[in-house]
Amino acid sequence: MRRLLLLTLLLTLALPAVASAQNPWLEKRVLNIAHQGGEDEFPSNTLYAFKKSVKAGADMLELDVGVTKDDRIVVSHDTTLDRTTSGTGTIESRTLKQIRRLDAAYWFAKGGDDAYAHDKPRKAYRFRGIATGERKPPKGFKRRDFRVPTLREVMKAFPRTPINIEIKGRTPDEATEEYIRNAEVLAAALDATKRRDLIVVSFVQQAVDRFHELAPRIDVAPGVDGSAAFLLGGGSPGDGVVAFQLPITYEIGDQVLSVTTAENVAKAHAAGYAWHTWLSNDGESPATWRQLIDQCVDGVMTARPVAFEKVLRRHDAPEACG
């Protein structure tokens, strides 16, 4: 309830605490960030999706991570395997070996909001069976590109592509304690990395804080509480924060609040923070993308990176964006 009350005041932006003056994410505008690898155009969070989106022009990959029963970090958006893969059950209840047998493109049928509907004709699922060897992969790709990947595999495949990593829980309850545990596992996995092109985020602020405590060299974006603290009273969004990652609007009951506005983006920039907008709840269209570019956002997390790239090539950010 406290989070909802805080979010009702997202339009009130006081003078904020200033971040580091040397924020590299403010120099990378406007980023085409492939959300789940571009889940409307390609099978969510697969190596195939990541490779295709980068080839199409995506500047950064956005992905979600969870921890398996044997403490391995896999890349998948959902708590369960049911919606996108040939398997069932929670990721937390399965071992990596069990998950590796699955077809991660099993329910993908290109087509917007219903891209993963389970009631389409079999022929609509055009990548089904590649991961399991029943069909040949497209030229230039392999069976493993259609399986559930590990975070390590994705980072190895894209050593020079920035990656945004979201920490989630992986059981039906998705308790705060589980987010924190997953943050600890992720921090341990990234402890030795020399990469400085990663951003780690979670809706749960405690997970972000715990990750930063254990891996302070890696950039983070704040959770709900950190964002609210900054937007409400000008306080710090948390240590290690380099960017806000927020939607265009936020719904509370029958009330729709505007979050990503030109004013809010400008004030974040003045404080030294970048602004990345995700669109899962707001819908996507060329008109929406052009509006965001005109508002000087630093990145757009899009489910349609191929289409978004075409808009980026034709629609420049205003000179006032810097």
pLDDT at 40 (0 to 100): 94
Rounded to an integer, the average pLDDT of 43-54 is 98
Residue pLDDT, tens place only, 165-223: 999 887 777 789 989 999 999 999 999 999 999 999 999 999 999 999 999 999 999 99
CA 142 distance to own-chain centroid: 24
Buried/exposed 177-198: b ≥16 CB within 10 Å, e otherwise: ebbbbbbbbbbebbeeeeeebb
Q: Say how far apart CA 53 and CA 215 lie, in whole Å.
A: 28
Query: Which long-range contacts (C-beta less than 8 Å, at least 24 apart) are formed by 176-180?
Result: 176/204, 176/206, 176/207, 178/92, 179/204, 179/206, 179/207, 180/204, 180/206, 180/207, 180/210
Contact status, residue 79 vs residue 168, Cβ threshold 8 Å: yes
Map tokens 């969004």 to a residue: 237
Residue pLDDT, tens place only, 105-126: 999 997 667 899 999 999 999 9
> How many alpha carbons lie under 13 Å from residue 3 in its C-beta half-sphere?
10
Element (H, E) at 34: strand 31-35
Output the CA–CA distances (angstroms, integers) from residue 6 to 14, 17, 173, 304, in the order listed.
Answer: 14, 18, 23, 31
Residue pLDDT, tens place only, 86-112: 999 999 999 999 999 999 999 999 766
CB atoms within 10 A of CB 57: 15
Residue pLDDT, tens place only, 288-297: 999 999 999 9
pLDDT of residue 146 exceeding 70, the answer is yes
Rounded to an integer, the average pLDDT of 290-313 is 97
Higher per-residue confidence, 229 vs 34: 34
pLDDT at 3 (0 to 100): 46
What are the domain boundaries of the chain?
2-79+149-316
- Model confidence, pTM: 0.92
Say whether domain 2-79+149-316 belongs to CATH 3.40.30.10: no
pLDDT at 7 (0 to 100): 47
> What percentage of the chain reaches a pLDDT higher than 90?
76
> How many alpha carbons lie under 13 Å from residue 128 in its C-beta half-sphere?
18
Q: Say how far apart CA 199 and CA 165 lie, in whole Å.
A: 6
CB atoms within 10 A of CB 264: 19
Biggest CA–CA distance in the chain, Å, is: 59
Inter-helix orientation angle 47-56/305-314, to 10°: 10
pLDDT of residue 160 exceeding 60, the answer is yes
pLDDT of residue 5 exceeding 90, the answer is no
Least confident of 2-6, 114-118, 250-254, 293-297: 2-6
pLDDT at 152 (0 to 100): 97
pLDDT of residue 10 exceeding 50, the answer is no
Residue pLDDT, tens place only, 16-44: 445 545 899 998 779 999 999 999 999 99
DSSP state of 206: H
Higher per-residue confidence, 1 vs 18: 18
Element (H, E) at 222: none
pLDDT at 119 (0 to 100): 93
Mean residue pLDDT of the chain comes to: 90
Contact status, residue 128 vs residue 105, Cβ threshold 8 Å: yes
Higher per-residue confidence, 241 vs 253: 241
Residue pLDDT, tens place only, 65-90: 989 999 999 999 998 999 999 999 99
pLDDT at 103 (0 to 100): 98
pLDDT of residue 47 exceeding 60, the answer is yes
